[in-house]
Amino acid sequence: MAARVVMKQLVIAIDGYSSCGKSTTAKAVAAALHYAYVDTGAMYRAVTLHLLEHQIPFDDLGRVEAALHELTISFRRNRRTGRNEVFLDGVNREDDIRQMVISNSVSEVSVIAMVRHAMVAQQQRMGRKRGVVMDGRDIGTTVFPDAEVKVFMTADVVVRAERRQMELALNGEMVVLDDIIENLRKRDHLDSTRAESPLRRAADAVLLDTTHLVIDEQVDFVLERVSAALFAPQG
């Protein structure tokens, strides 16, 4: 009987700026490899939604800490759409966390050290068994610095804003392009300059500029890096 070949399980970290196609690419890569997919940005959006709905000021650290102990965030696969959706306290809030009001505040929540510590710990638990694709801001630098595949995605800010505008429109939310550009630039600055796990390219991450690429090209780019990692000589 032929020996069964067991392929090693990798951690694939896809970091970068908002609206570069990170989540769409990461989902497709995970599906192609039959890996788990974790949208870490959605976790921070869920925390932001919880704080806003409970009228908890972001600088009231006592109440923020209490909220982190109380709330639960999980992902469940929607069998009809095939996508992983975010559940906050057992309720599907996938569409709610994608609203512009959340985008306007999520970077302010993400800079809070206790929020990052709580989310990073949960993300590390999710990826402990490996065989996972995670996208976010600090996966390759903080969450899984030992990830076998690291990709850092970027794109022209106007192109990113146009993509984000289209996404919002599909959800029935019409937002002026200039407002989205301003939001993205603000988030870029906050994410890149925060003291706790700032957005930056890991030294061993490969750069992927998606300005002129379609999703299939982005997915192929990542899968090529996965193949190289899987079949790299050991030693």
Terminal-residue alpha carbon distance, the chain: 29
Least confident of 127-131, 151-155, 174-178, 212-216: 127-131
Binding residue positions for ATP: 16-24
Q: What is the pLDDT of residue 76?
A: 86
What is the mean predicted confidence (pLDDT) over 92-104? 94
Mean pLDDT, residues 187-193:
92
pLDDT at 69 over 80: yes
Residue 129 identity:
K
* pLDDT, average across residues 159-177: 93
What are the tens digits of pLDDT across the range 100-113? 999 999 999 999 99
Asked if the model's pLDDT at residue 3 lies above 70, the reply is no
Say what the pLDDT of residue 235 is: 52
pLDDT at 51 over 70: yes
Integer Cα distance of 154 and 160 in angstroms: 9
Residue 234's pLDDT is: 61
pLDDT at 1: 46
Query: Alpha carbon of 178 to those of 147, 150, 162, 173: distances in Å?
Result: 36, 32, 10, 15
Question: Mean pLDDT across the stretch 82-86?
Answer: 82
121-149 residue pLDDT tens = 999 998 888 899 999 999 999 999 999 99
pTM score of the predicted model: 0.86
Spatial separation of the C-alpha atoms in residues 64 and 107, rounded to whole Å: 15
Q: Is the pLDDT of residue 216 over 60?
A: yes
- Contact status, residue 68 vs residue 114, Cβ threshold 8 Å: yes
Q: Is 21 left (phi over 0), alpha (psi -120 to 50) or beta?
A: left
Instruction: Scan for tokens 């959340």, then name that residue.
Output: 102
Segment among 75-84, 105-114, 206-215 with least mean pLDDT: 75-84
The predicted pLDDT at position 4 comes to 46
- pLDDT number for residue 210: 97
Binding-site members are 16-24
The predicted structure's pLDDT at residue 196: 85
Residue 171 confidence (pLDDT) above 70: yes
The DSSP result for 30-78, as a single string, is: HHHHT-EEEEHHHHHHHHHHHHHHTT--TT-HHHHHHHHHH--EEEEE-
Question: Each residue of 7-17: pLDDT tens digit?
Answer: 689 999 999 99
